[in-house]
Structures are given as structure tokens and as C-alpha cells.
Amino acid sequence: MREILGRRRKPLFRRGGRSALLGAALHCATEWQWPVLPGVGLRPAGRQPAGGRLGLGERAPRRCNCPDPDCVVPGAHPFDPGLLAATTDARMVRWWWTNRPDAPIVLATGGRAPCAVSLPAVAGARALAALDHFGVRTGPVVATPTRWSLLVSPYGLPELGELLNSRDWVPSSLRFHGDGGYVVLPPSPTGAGKVRWERPTASPKLSTSFKQGGTPSRDAPWLPDVATIVDALVTASTSTPDGGSRLAY
């Protein structure tokens, strides 16, 4: 049968390991104008240390590629390059992931990029259920096995401070990722497991992301204001055991 020529639709992110990471990083940087950079990643799987034994079917834990032997977020943070190197430049993104094809995708939050609020996975599920019940629209939700991050439109520290000051108490397990912060995006591999979309990217209409020059990016996912979801997140986190202030996924 003769093939009908025409323009083929590109898949959002190519499937299959390394190509998926490069494809996702390029899509975030060029289509959505989200500044990204490669995370430090994990060390190659090696032998079990002397004296250590693994059970049947058990795998040796993957350690972070950074110098800290006790890193609590293995692979899932920037190191070299640092966070300030985050960019939307396609050539730089392609160079990074061509040389480091297994590197996690780190989104530098704040500025014109999305911000985020993260909380334990159990609390995140409760919060989404409550928001759905009251008809509150949410944006993309990033999930690791232990924590979920809700992406929101950019906010500043004064706005966030005023918002939280009106609450009697904010659990330490609830964390805010604004200017100077970051979130690891799917389909990144981390020491806690693979990062995934719990809620996929929503309709790009009325997007609050921006392209260079200040014009709205109509391709970027829609993002809610943090004020519309923070009450549900605080309530869900309050009713969930607090993991304390120790940084974790």
C-alpha cells in the first residue's frame, strides 16, 4: 500500500530510557519555556560492599553521584552544573543530555517558571481528592514514591509569606519551591524510584508561563495560583504523620 505523505504528530515524550529523558528535557525547555538542567544522577550499579548481604531478589541501593556519602535525595538534585545554569536553550539542553543521557531533569522554579508545593504522597492523594470534591482545578502533579509536587503559577516570597502568616500552623512536611528552588521532572530516575506524572499536563489555555520577551506561551500547561490550593494542602499535611524537617524526596 502506498504511504500517504504528510506531517506526522510528534509524541510528547519519546519512550525508552535515554531518548525519553532528552525528549522530555527539550520539550520542557523549548515548547514550555521551562528552564531545566541535568541533575547529578546516580552512580552506576556496582558490587555490594564487603560484609553486606542482600536477600533473594533484592538489589543493592543506588547511591548519589555527588560527594556526599549520606545524600538523602540521591540523584535528584543539581550539582555540576549548578542551579543558576538552568536554561531554555535547545543547544545547551541537547549537549547536556547527549553527554549525560541518564541525568534526571531538574526544573529551576520561580521567576517566570512554575513554582511548586510538595508534600508526602499520602497527604498529596488526600489533598487532590479534596480539591476534586470541591471542583478546584489543579495543574500538573509530579510524583515520586514518597512525595508529590503540585506545580503552580509563579509566586514571590512576600505573597507566600502573607499567605502562610494567616495560617495557625504549617506542617514542616509541606515545602515550597519558589525562587532558588527546584523540582525533578518525569521521567527522571532517582534513588527513590522513577519520577512520574500523577496528574498529566493540563490544557495550555490561559497559561501563566512565558516565552522570552514576556509573551504568554500558549503551549505550556495551565497552572493554578498557590492561594487556591494551599488550604487543602495544609489540611491534608496536618492529618498525616509529619516527616520532620529533614530533606527527603
3-class DSSP assignment, residue 124: helix
Does residue 52 belong to any structural domain of this protein?
Answer: no
Contact 96, 37 (CB under 8 A): yes
What average pLDDT score do residues 180-185 get? 96
Return the C-alpha cell found at 71. Answer: 545524600
Does residue 8 belong to any structural domain of this protein?
Answer: no
pLDDT for the residue numbered 216:
43
Q: What domain count does the chain have?
A: 1
Segments forming the whole domain that contains residue 208: 17-42+62-238
- Mind spelling out the 3-state secondary structure of 136-203? CCCCCEEECCCEEEEEECCCCHHHHHHHHHCCCCCCCCCEEECCCCEEEECCCEECCEECEEEECCCC
Does residue 204 belong to any structural domain of this protein?
Answer: yes
Range among 45-59, 73-87, 152-166 rated most confident:
73-87
Q: What is the pLDDT of residues 7-41, one digit of tens each?
A: 333 444 444 455 899 999 999 999 999 999 999 99
Mean predicted lDDT score pLDDT of the chain: 82
Does residue 77 belong to any structural domain of this protein?
Answer: yes
Q: How many CB atoms lie within 10 A of CB 110?
A: 19
Does residue 247 belong to any structural domain of this protein?
Answer: no
- The closest alpha carbon to 43, from 11, 75, 16, belongs to 75
What average pLDDT score do residues 109-117 get? 95
